[in-house]
Chains A and B, each alone.
Chain A
Amino acid sequence: MLLELKDIHVHYGKIAAIKGISLQVEDGEIVSLIGANGAGKTTTLKTISGLRPLTSGQVLFNGQDISKMPGHKRVVAGIGQSPEGRGVFPGMTVQENLLMGAFTRKDALDADLAEVYELFPRLAERKSQFGGTMSGGEQQMIAIGRALMTKPKVLLLDEPSMGLAPMLIAQIFEIIKEINKRGTTVLLVEQNAQQALKLSHRAYVLETGRVVKSAPGPELLDDPQVRAAYLGGH
């Protein structure tokens, strides 16, 4: 088991955003969290990466309890995240953004940098452009590439398709598949359930801070309840 959440509860002030979520991510998987607005998908990711404190419960990574570990140390441990809204550093160039991902690393970066540019040729063309002046899709590429530069064991992706044109969405999902194929475990949060489920080995359906269903991705695609609620099916 690479990553495991055991009955976590998270509060914003007095309001409970997550009311007891448990989930597991195995090494090499793509796992999706799908659900409507306010279901707690983003909060779950933020809790895993350490941006949000737990009220109760446990986060286990590689068998080790990291519930109290600060966020910047979880990066070193192997948790990389592309945050909601992308979080690109606007005043840094594309290359500087990618190098920020390697902030804690002391080993050679050339090979990894080359790999990111190979995955996202668009970024290679614009190395010296400011992050803030890139389009939404390009910023998403920066955010994913930057997270890859941390050399994560598990990559957390928060709505990578948000605000992108359909063509770009397909492209981004292709790249996620490729990243997974090369050996990185992926935990994906998506509102675009159709695409996410097609891609995922397993998925969890979240509703108001709880897991209401979990099954292999393709199975959920055919689930009548999920179809009605998230896939616009009848």
Chain B
Amino acid sequence: MKGNGVTGNANPLRRVGALFDGARDWWERAKTWQRFVVYIGALVFALILPAPWIGTFMSPGADWTTVLIYPIGTYMLLAIGLNVVVGQAGLLDLGFVAFFAIGGYTLAYFATEHGWSYWPTVVFGIFLAAVSGVILGAPTLRLRGDYLAIVTLGFGEIIRITANNTDEIGGARGIPNIPHPTDMPAIGLDFGVLPAPYYYLMVAAIVVVIVFSVRLQKSRVGRAWAAIREDEDAAELMGVPTFKFKLLAFAIGAMIGGLAGGIYAGKAVFIEPGTFPFILSATILAAVVLGGAGNLPGVMLGAFVIAWLPERFREVEWLKEALGKDPAEYRILLFGGVLVLMMALRPEGLLPSRRRKAELHEGTGGMGAMGAEVAGPDTDVSTEAAK
């Protein structure tokens, strides 16, 4: 089913795809010590990633460490959060940026107006994001599929427009002078103008969130989410309180979004409503789907590709010559083209889990409500009549 419409093994993307699949199969059989070697390797890789010799290729035009923090690291954090909602519980959320905004604005407002210190405020932002996730979820999670997507989309816009129209939190002008994170002299991190400490903070946050997410996925909660994603009615018939677990997925996804908002705002110093547009929700969703929803390494790879490609396209020499002017203006077009190509050649995502493949194979779309079924007063009657 992969590589539909492309013939033969000559297709390089298919070969790369087979390589990915091989790596995943090896990983599933790998022993504990082998896995730990990979974990440590990945961590070491993450720590040396900002090195200038890598940066000259990856980001010739802009400061590589800064690019690693935003967009790459931030997108990864957001994608891991959205993956809980979309990839694990199978709920389509088109307004995820709202929780990012709530985390960012909580820090910005309470730290500048009330002088709260950084970390407690970030934690409070995570809490507020979770609460707003529950408030959004409680009335809307009874909806399915497209309906849920539309309501969450609306929620994302409501948060942004509310921020835009509330003078107390800066209105359209936003909030400047957001404090940096508290320095950590014990481990030599001084959060000033240099980007490196923020990068290490971002890596630490991503590691924590990955551990949290993996633990959840392997727990009873993760099983309940998988059941809901694959067949919500059947899950209820197994005794899974589907509504509660969907709400939990929303809250946990929102918490991760809130954390990302706090870290971002502490680095950026300034936020405004325009920092949190709908297109960011869509971009993060694209990262999750492109990478392979439900599979963490895939989702992170997807976030990396989505964040890095448009930046890299700014500085491609032959494009400069071919287009005769600044390729930066065409980068989103090129980016869109690459996305279309990738999804045409590998619809299940770059690094899907085996399970996700089985779900897709079954034809439900494997994304729970994202598949095809849209329950409503009318459709129910027609499907019912067919039985």
Residues of A in contact with B (beta carbons under 8 Å apart)? 12-15, 17, 37-38, 41-43, 49-51, 70-73, 75-76, 80-81, 83-84, 87-92, 96, 100-101, 103-104, 130-133, 146-147, 150, 159
Q: A72-B240, A104-B239 are in contact. Are A132 and B377 (CB under 8 A)?
A: no
Chain B residues with Cβ below 8 Å from A76 are 239
Chain A residues with Cβ below 8 Å from B381 are 12-13, 15, 17
Q: Is B359 in contact with A132, judged by CB distance below 8 angstroms?
A: yes
A130 CA to B353 CA in the complex, in Å? 13
Q: Is A89 in contact with B234, judged by CB distance below 8 angstroms?
A: yes
A133 CA to B359 CA in the complex, in Å? 9
**A-B contact count, CB below 8 Å?**
107
Chain A residues with Cβ below 8 Å from B387 are 37-38, 41-42, 84, 159
Which 7 A-B pairs have CB atoms at the shortest separation, nearest pair first? A13-B377, A87-B234, A90-B362, A132-B362, A104-B239, A75-B239, A91-B355
Q: Is A103 in contact with B237, judged by CB distance below 8 angstroms?
A: no
- The B interface is mostly helix, strand or loop, or mixed, namely helix
A104 CA to B245 CA in the complex, in Å? 14
8 A Cβ contacts from B205-250 to A: 220, 223-224, 226-227, 230-231, 233-242
From B223, B241, B358, B384, contact of A100 by CB (8 A): B223
Chain A residues with Cβ below 8 Å from B356 are 91
B366 located at the interface, meaning its Cβ lies under 8 Å from any Cβ of chain A in the complex:
yes
Q: Is A71 in contact with B355, judged by CB distance below 8 angstroms?
A: no
A103 CA to B240 CA in the complex, in Å? 7
What is the interface size of chain B, counting residues whose CB is below 8 A from a CB of the partner?
34
A42 CA to B384 CA in the complex, in Å? 8
- Most B C-beta atoms less than 10 A away, residue of A81, A90, A147: A90
Q: Is B355 in contact with A130, judged by CB distance below 8 angstroms?
A: yes
A12 CA to B376 CA in the complex, in Å? 9
Q: Is B355 in contact with A17, judged by CB distance below 8 angstroms?
A: no
Minimum Cβ distance to chain A for residue B293 (Å):
12
Chain A residues with Cβ below 8 Å from B238 are 72, 75, 100-101, 103-104, 146, 150
Q: Is A133 in contact with B361, judged by CB distance below 8 angstroms?
A: yes
- Most A C-beta atoms less than 10 A away, residue of B226, B227, B386: B227
Q: Is B224 in contact with A103, judged by CB distance below 8 angstroms?
A: yes
Give A156's nearest chain B residue, CB to CB.
Answer: B237
Q: A15-B381, A89-B234, A92-B355 are in contact. Are A100 and B227 (CB under 8 A)?
A: yes
Q: Is A92 in contact with B226, judged by CB distance below 8 angstroms?
A: yes
Q: Is A91 in contact with B239, judged by CB distance below 8 angstroms?
A: no
> Hey, what's the 0/1 contact readout for B178-193 against A, CB within 8 Å counting as 1?
0000000000000000
Chain A residues with Cβ below 8 Å from B223 are 96, 100, 103
Minimum Cβ distance to chain B for residue A210 (Å):
16
Q: Is B240 in contact with A89, judged by CB distance below 8 angstroms?
A: no
B168 located at the interface, meaning its Cβ lies under 8 Å from any Cβ of chain A in the complex:
no
Q: Is A91 in contact with B359, judged by CB distance below 8 angstroms?
A: yes
8 A Cβ contacts from B339-387 to A: 354-356, 358-359, 361-362, 364, 366, 377-378, 380-381, 384-387
Q: Is A89 in contact with B227, judged by CB distance below 8 angstroms?
A: yes
Give A38's nearest chain B residue, CB to CB.
Answer: B385
Q: Is B234 in contact with A90, judged by CB distance below 8 angstroms?
A: no
A131 CA to B233 CA in the complex, in Å? 16
Q: Is A150 in contact with B239, judged by CB distance below 8 angstroms?
A: yes
Chain B residues with Cβ below 8 Å from A131 are 358
Q: Is A72 in contact with B234, judged by CB distance below 8 angstroms?
A: no
Q: Is B239 in contact with A130, judged by CB distance below 8 angstroms?
A: no
Q: Is B380 in contact with A13, judged by CB distance below 8 angstroms?
A: yes
Q: Is B237 in contact with A71, judged by CB distance below 8 angstroms?
A: yes
Q: Is A72 in contact with B241, judged by CB distance below 8 angstroms?
A: yes
Minimum Cβ distance to chain B for residue A164 (Å):
16
Q: Is B234 in contact with A133, judged by CB distance below 8 angstroms?
A: no
Show 28 residue pairs from A and B whose CB-CB distance is below 8 angstroms, ordered by the A residue.
A13-B378, A13-B380, A14-B377, A17-B381, A38-B384, A38-B387, A42-B384, A50-B236, A51-B233, A84-B387, A87-B231, A89-B231, A90-B358, A90-B359, A90-B362, A92-B226, A92-B355, A100-B227, A103-B238, A104-B238, A104-B239, A130-B354, A130-B358, A132-B358, A132-B361, A133-B358, A133-B361, A150-B238
